[in-house]
Chains A and B, each alone.
Chain A
Amino acid sequence: AQKITQTQPGMFVQEKEAVTLDCTYDTSDPSYGLFWYKQPSSGEMIFLIYQGSYDQQNATEGRYSLNFQKARKSANLVISASQLGDSAMYFCAMRGLSSGSARQLTFGSGTQLTVLP
């Protein structure tokens, strides 16, 4: 079984500052992938960044980076230089990658980020 926990229902950040959104996970799969998605109020789920459990380096995509701490089972999303357009719901998700793993994504409950001008 897999579980994703996002403990911050809501977060506020000042424009141009950095913000960290927390995500912890639990899985019995030896190989797994971690994903972050952004969902603005329009509804579309936008893929942001991916981290494989065996990747040696933390993933980065532009202003997004994933702070992956395998021993702590955490995969926090760091957004640098926040912009007003970053205001959205953010979901952390994971799936097992071992052969025979279910292809379903397990989602966390989400964090609503509001960027203040």
Chain B
Amino acid sequence: DTEVTQTPKHLVMGMTNKKSLKCEQHMGHRAMYWYKQKAKKPPELMFVYSYEKLSINESVPSRFSPECPNSSLLNLHLHALQPEDSALYLCASSQDPGGPDTQYFGPGTRLTVL
């Protein structure tokens, strides 16, 4: 079973709203990732959690706040976003450590910021 789930599928929010994206995996993976993807571009890495600790933050603005409550869950808290933050947000997970460490992606959340 290589399923990663993400909720919601679509989200529309105003620039003053606070919302959260959720990601869940039950594959026993110990690394989880957030990516941002603009149309017709490759995904851009935002954050990496390894064993529930933040290991990589790719200089993401503080209006994006990740949280890993446990090894199966990953949240992305959104606050005071800008219209240019509108994108597809993808969550992924991989087995850790070593080996090919293939990343398996969820279906994504399409975010629109008005």
A89's closest neighbor in chain B, by CB?
Answer: B40
Closest residue on chain A to residue B35 by CB atoms: A45
Nearest CB on A from B13, distance (A): 18
A45 with B100: CB separation less than 8 A: no
Q: Residue A47 at the B interface, CB < 8 A? A: yes
User: Number of contacting residues on B, CB 8 A?
Assistant: 25
Chain B residues within 8 Å of A, Cβ to Cβ: 2, 31, 40-43, 45, 48, 50, 56, 88, 90, 92, 94, 99-108, 110
A interface residues with partner B (beta carbon < 8 Å):
33, 35, 37, 42-47, 50, 52, 89, 91, 95, 97, 102-105, 107-110, 112
Name 25 A/B residue pairs within 8 A (Cβ), A-sorted: A35-B100, A37-B105, A43-B88, A43-B90, A43-B108, A45-B43, A45-B90, A45-B92, A45-B105, A45-B108, A46-B105, A89-B40, A91-B43, A97-B99, A102-B56, A103-B31, A103-B50, A103-B56, A103-B94, A103-B101, A104-B45, A104-B48, A105-B45, A107-B43, A110-B42
